[in-house]
Amino acid sequence: MNVTAELVRAYDEHRHELAATGRALPGAQDTLALLAGLSAIYQSVLTGNLRDVARVKLEAFNLHQFVDLEAGAYGEDGRDRAELVHIAQRRARERAGARFSNDRTVLVGDTVNDVRAGREAGVAVVGVSTGKASRDELRQAGAAAAFDHLDEVRTHLLALVPN
């Protein structure tokens, strides 16, 4: 038995239950949709989850359409989260044909580990306290900015986009 394949199959089989009992975070759909419409922004995913598990979760809440999952980096790509940042940058470059340098990459995360990964990788990190970490904990870990809601993150990211 392939444990990875079985895990993905279980998520896929229970996606309707996930959609019925879970929820997208408030502001997630609006934020991702607005940012996806801007040519200066390229969105993907960086997670310790398996790629197909992340896909099922995003599909369950109809968020997959706003990100390029092929340009992301996932748990099966490695355990070093800072290295995942570089993998995602490389994949995004290959898919979009544009350079994603550290000074033009922003990681949005909700854990102290997300912040550390971004900082170790040399990219800007915006924290959002939608997980277990508070805004203050995200700031103390090194987030350049930290907010309580995705709407605030959206406003902050829009201010970073060149006119």
CATH architecture observed for domain 3-160: 3-Layer(aba) Sandwich (3.40)
pLDDT of residue 141: 97
In the chain, where are the structural domains located? Answer: 3-160
pTM reported for the whole predicted model:
0.92
pLDDT, residue 9, reads: 93
Quick one: 93 exposed, middle or buried, by C-beta within 10 A (0-12, 13-18, 19+)?
middle
SS3 sequence, the chain?
CCHHHHHHHHHHHCHHHHHHHCCCCCCHHHHHHHHHCCCCCCCCCECCCCHHHHHHHHHHCCCHHHCCHHHCECHHHCCCHHHHHHHHHHHHHHHHCCCCCHHHCEEEECCHHHHHHHHHHCCEEEEECCCCCCHHHHHHHCCCEEECCHHHHHHHHHHHCCC
Residue 3: its pLDDT value, please?
87
Q: How high is the pLDDT of residue 161?
A: 87
Q: Rounded to an integer, what distance in angstroms lies between the CA atom of residue 10 and that of residue 100?
A: 35
pLDDT per position as a tens digit, 87-126: 999 999 999 999 999 999 999 999 999 999 999 999 999 9
Residue 42: per-residue pLDDT: 96
Distance CA 106, CA 57 (A): 22
pLDDT digit string, tens, across residues 129-156: 998 999 999 999 999 999 999 999 999 9
**Is the CB of residue 72 less than 8 Å from the CB of residue 51?**
yes
**CA 99/CA 81 separation, integer angstroms:** 20
> Quick check: 1 pLDDT over 80?
no
Question: What's the pLDDT tens digit per position in 7-29?
Answer: 899 999 999 999 999 999 999 99
